Amino acid sequence: MTTQQNVLDYATAIQAQLSAVANPVPVYANFNRNFASQPKFVTWQLRNVHQPVYTGQVQSIKGIDTPIFQASVFGQQMQDAFGIANTIIQALHGYSGQFGGSGGFDVSKIDINWLYNTYDDQVKLHQIILDCRMYIPC
């Protein structure tokens, strides 16, 4: 049995995986959003790391780590935002395998939920929020 990943490993893998899927659309961690200079982009944030998901009869044995990351898709045009969100969903929902490229880790499965879409009239951007749960054996 392996141990849980370091949160930096999660962040690095999320950035790499989303960048590969959304290419050529830029992908940033949340704190790097830049509304002014790009007509479409994706941001993400990691949350709910190291939840206590236990497997088997002995509840003290850790079996699955289930971190969640939230991806936000932004686009000046609605069709761009919906198209990018669909690309991410098609590529990652149900994904199983090496996540984050060669420096990543194995995931058993990824579930994605489309939480909502909205439009911000002040910055003139459509936004789609995707909730992504990774199931990682550990």
8-51 residue pLDDT tens: 899 999 999 999 999 999 999 886 556 657 899 999 999 887 66
CA gyration radius, the chain: 16
pTM attached to this predicted model: 0.86
Domain ranges of the chain: 7-32+39-137
Return the structure tokens found at 87: 């690309």
| Cα separation of the two ends of the chain | 6
90-119 residue pLDDT tens: 999 999 999 998 888 999 999 999 999 999
- Angstrom distance (rounded) from CA 48 to CA 57: 24
CB atoms within 10 A of CB 9: 14
Return the structure tokens found at 106: 């194995």
CATH fold of 7-32+39-137, please? STM4215-like (3.30.2000)
Strand partners, 45: 70
